[in-house]
Structure 1
Amino acid sequence: MPDLDPALQAALAEFAAHQRVLVALDFDGTMSPLVDRPQEARPLEESAAAFEQLASSPGVYTAVVSGRNLQSLSEVYPEPRPEIRIGSHGAERLVPPQLGAIWHDEPLTARQSELLGQITQRLERVAAMHANASVEYKPSATVLHVRQATPEVAAKALAQARQALRDLDGIKLLEGKAVLEATVHHGDKGQSLQWLREVLDVQAVLFVGDDVTDENGFKVLGAADLGIKVGPGPTAAAHNILSPSELPHLLKSLISMRH
């Protein structure tokens, strides 16, 4: 495994010097390589092992912050899982009671339930019209997946989905790699990270992610924090690694710096 970029190595050392820190990782495309079938995703064993070891370091909190719903995340992330898990871009939050964090999943209002039903019907119609498009259901959102479709079909399906949803007020569209999520919950990964920062009372946050929706997380990071994008492309993160295969080395480097 090649050494980390010198600038990233230096930034990681500065981050590691803080007494109380949060290390938050996205799942798909970060802990797990992207796969055609979302249900077949698994974290790289080295990444999961290093993440678990990092969690045992004094003063270090670890969290998975994912767009997946918590049920889906539990199905693709084998035990032992991180105790702190954020799902559905922040609409679902699982934090151990001993940490003193209080989060109540608020039930959808009648209007939100109606909107979610309309979203689901429209995205189901779009998916039915395009080969290898599929729909995923979340507690407060519905997602159109087109990763298995041809690029031409995928582009048409996504464009048609946007058009189908254009007149619905009170929804939020989250676009990622070969997915379009329509949600009635207006939180995002950035808000989730800020919430974790407060409830855990950490001095610095490290966040690693690969997709468009992770940019909301990078944008809330401050001078003491560290944002790392996985893969190429424009980003608000200060640093990047090339692929999920480089994450184990990053985590192991942080572990060594904490000891």
Structure 2
Amino acid sequence: MSTLTPPSPIDEQRARIRSTLADASRLLLCLDFDGTLAPIVEEPDEATPTTANENALATLTSDPAVSTAIISGRALTDVRGRVDGPKMYAGNHGLELARRGSVAVHPVANKRASQVERVCETLETALESVPNYRIENKRLTGTVHVRSVPDDARPFVRRQTHAVVDQVGGDALEVSTGKRIYEIGPSIPWGKGNAVALIAADMPPDTVPIYIGDDVTDESAFRTVESDGIGVRVGGDEPSAASCRIDSPEAVARLLEWLGSVGIDALERGEPELRSISTRSVTDGSLSTATRSS
């Protein structure tokens, strides 16, 4: 296993990105939502993408050489209601995948949803003495938000979360850590990277994938795209599987605008008739429920 290194600033990588796009005829652009298209806010229900990101994403989505997807830790119905335009969405860290007019749900996660619900209900009682905590039941997963919890109370929240998950879920559930959150989900080898891999497998072979995200849960997606494409981490210079970094959702908008002009121009689109055939092959083919494996 290779050692992770800090990703390079995006300005140092633009020539490489342009060269990678020049060797392709299509772009698959996958984006996280919170902290990427939308700034992180105290109240998760108030998160909205910036206007600049909405406009730049709409421009890219309308281009026939671009396929766009949102890959979020939010529930699928939640994230689909917050950003419009892309034809593909993955919710609950890839456990739900919407494409080609249908939704596939990981069957093991579906079976363990009742345990997630019991964990969330139990935690509401276990954490009732903690100020400003918030528990979000997303059916397939749950999130304990501690962004507004006093610093000295967060260790208690962490211990209680792990204790309740162990008590209710046993080996069926696990806890992972994100940016001021604790994620509760099925203990199965599945994440955002798996959803990206399924989407990418549906693309023509000369498609370059780009993934943009800001959290620990995005690392599996970075690993998925970096072999053939580009991973872009939003945030600091912590070691990451992504090769590039930018510092904020505002910088995401500037990158999307660059991709919508310089990046798209670099694509080798081929003859118009052939390009039309390639586009139809991506949007009209049949899709099996690829999330049947456990």
* TM-score tier after normalising by the smaller chain length: 0.7 to 0.9
Query: Residue 39 of structure 1 contacts residue 76 of structure 1 at CA under 8 Å; is this kept in 2?
Result: no
For residue 87 of structure 1, what is the aligned residue in structure 2?
Answer: 91
TM-score by length of 2: 0.78
Letter in 1 for 2:244: H
* Match of residue 56 from structure 2: 50
Structure 1 Cα separation of the partners of residues 103 and 109 of structure 2: 18
Asked if 1:59 corresponds to 2:62, the answer is no
Deviations 1:79-102 (A, max 9, x none): x332211111111111134xxxx7
- For 1:246-257, what aligned pairs fall within 5 Å after superposition? 246-257=251-262
Letter matched to residue 225 of structure 2: L
Q: Tell me which of the two structures has the higher relative contact order, counting C-alpha pairs closer than 8 angstroms and 6 or more residues apart.
A: 2
In the alignment, residue 39 of structure 1 is paired with which amino acid?
A: D
2:249 to 234, 238, 244: 244
State the match for 1:223 in structure 2.
227
Answer whether contact 1:83 1:95 (CA < 8 A) is retained: yes
Q: Under a length normalisation based on structure 1, what TM-score does the superposition of the two structures give?
A: 0.88
1:248 and 1:235, CA in 2 relative to 1: closer, same or farther beyond 3 A? same
User: For the pair shown, which has the larger CA radius of gyration, 1 or 2?
Assistant: 2
Q: Does the Cα contact within 8 Å between 1:11 and 1:226 map onto a contact in 2? A: no
- Change in Cα spacing, 1:254 to 1:113, as seen in structure 2 (3 Å) is closer
Label 1:19 to 1:127 Cα distance change in 2 as closer, same or farther (>3 A): farther
Identity in percent: 28
Q: How does 1:1-259 map to 2 (within 5 A)?
A: 5-17=10-22, 18-77=24-83, 80-97=84-101, 104-105=104-105, 112-167=112-167, 168-184=170-186, 186=188, 187-201=190-204, 203-232=207-236, 233-257=238-262, 258-259=264-265
CA 1:113–1:50 in 2, change beyond 3 Å: closer, same or farther? closer
CA contact (8 A) 2:234 2:245 kept: yes
Decide whether aligned partners of structure 1 residues 124 and 59 sit closer, same or farther in structure 2, where only a CA change above 3 A counts: same
User: Which whole-Å CA distance do the structure 2 matches of 1:51 and 1:127 have between them?
Assistant: 39
Are 1:218 and 1:227, in contact at CA under 8 Å, matched by a contact in 2? yes
Tell me, yes or no, if the aligned pair for 2:127 and 2:160 is still in contact at 8 Å: no
> 1:194 is matched by which residue type in structure 2?
A
Tell me the secondary structure at the aligned position of residue 225 of structure 2: coil
Deviation at 1:174, TM superposition (A): 2.8
Partners of 2:109 and 2:156 lie apart in 1 by 32
Question: Does the aligned pair in 2 maintain the 1:68–1:89 contact within 8 Å?
Answer: yes
Contact 2:172 2:186 in 1 (8 A): yes
Deviation at 1:5, TM superposition (A): 4.1
CA contact 1:206–1:225 (8 Å) conserved in 2: yes
Tell me if the contact between 2:116 and 2:139 (Cα under 8 Å) persists in the aligned partners: no
Distance 2:203 2:239 in 1: 30
Code of the aligned partner of 2:87: E
| Secondary structure of the structure 1 residue equivalent to 2:126 | helix
Deviation at 1:175, TM superposition (A): 1.6
The answer to whether the 8 A contact 1:91-1:185 is kept is no
Structure 1 residue 14: Cα displacement: 2.5
Q: Which amino acid aligns with 1:169?
A: D
